[in-house]
A and B are shown apart, each in its own frame.
Chain A
């Protein structure tokens, strides 16, 4: 029983890994999401049916489709802007079989190396822009303040003038004056 479960779990792990390896050209979130969806699907069907034997698990995987087919659907649904399609698997690769997945080397997608750089540039540009706007605001305020200075106060200000300081008796000087 334990041995059977382990074999079944291995088959599931290998299947998920094989799918994941084929999704290198997808946005990371989509890639993770699909693997999670498949993992959840397999676990749900196994729980519903009490499917633990290797044969039952392989049947679930068979119904899901080969990793190539599932990955191809993922690229097709990602749309032209969402994915950087990887070249198809080498011709002569063995068709769906639980023991073929682990042999696949992990191929990181080189075409996406620009993404972090682009994001970094975008962030720096954004920060510079904000800094510029803030600086401009300060300059504008400074200009406004200095240009208001010499202008005579309007005859009837909107706000009441601050209360006048009481007149000091002659001869007394306010501290600090």
Chain B
């Protein structure tokens, strides 16, 4: 079973960050919202691992963040897509479609 979890970990690596970018493409979202979404989608086995990812995306300049008051709890850190993040996401979309087609063809999942 270790192989299975390693496979999905490997598949997520390099794609998860673009799912994060897409999540804030049209509206700013706060950390807990993003993290819970990935937990619910089973894209992240451990929700806590998304925060280091958000941190890196901010450090490379693809995400921006600002703190804002919350009506119910502690202040929220809202993430938004920067211009660089937007173009990275567009680039990924083009690459991903080609990549997916090729893999589908090679492993025989193109009609799955």
B residues engaging A (CB < 8 A)? Answer: 30-32, 35-36, 39, 45-49, 51-56, 70, 72-77
Contact flag A70-B75 (CB < 8 Å), given A77-B56, A79-B56:
no
Q: Which range contains the number of A residues in contact with the other chain?
A: 20 to 34
A38 at the interface (CB under 8 A from B): yes
Contact between chains at B55 and A43 (CB < 8 Å) = no
- Are B49 and A44 within 8 A (Cβ)? no
A64 to B75, CA, bound (A): 19
User: What's the dominant secondary structure at chain B's contact region?
Assistant: helix
Tell whether A47 is near chain B: CB-to-CB under 8 Å.
Answer: yes
Contacts A77-B55, A79-B56 hold; do A37 and B77 have CB atoms under 8 A apart? yes
Give the interface of A toward B (CB within 8 A): 19, 30, 33-34, 37-38, 40-41, 43-48, 63-66, 69-70, 73-74, 76-79
Residues A70 and B74 in contact in the complex (CB < 8 Å), given A30-B55, A63-B39, A77-B53: no
A64→B46 contact, CB < 8 A:
yes
B30: chain A residues within 8 A (beta carbon): 44
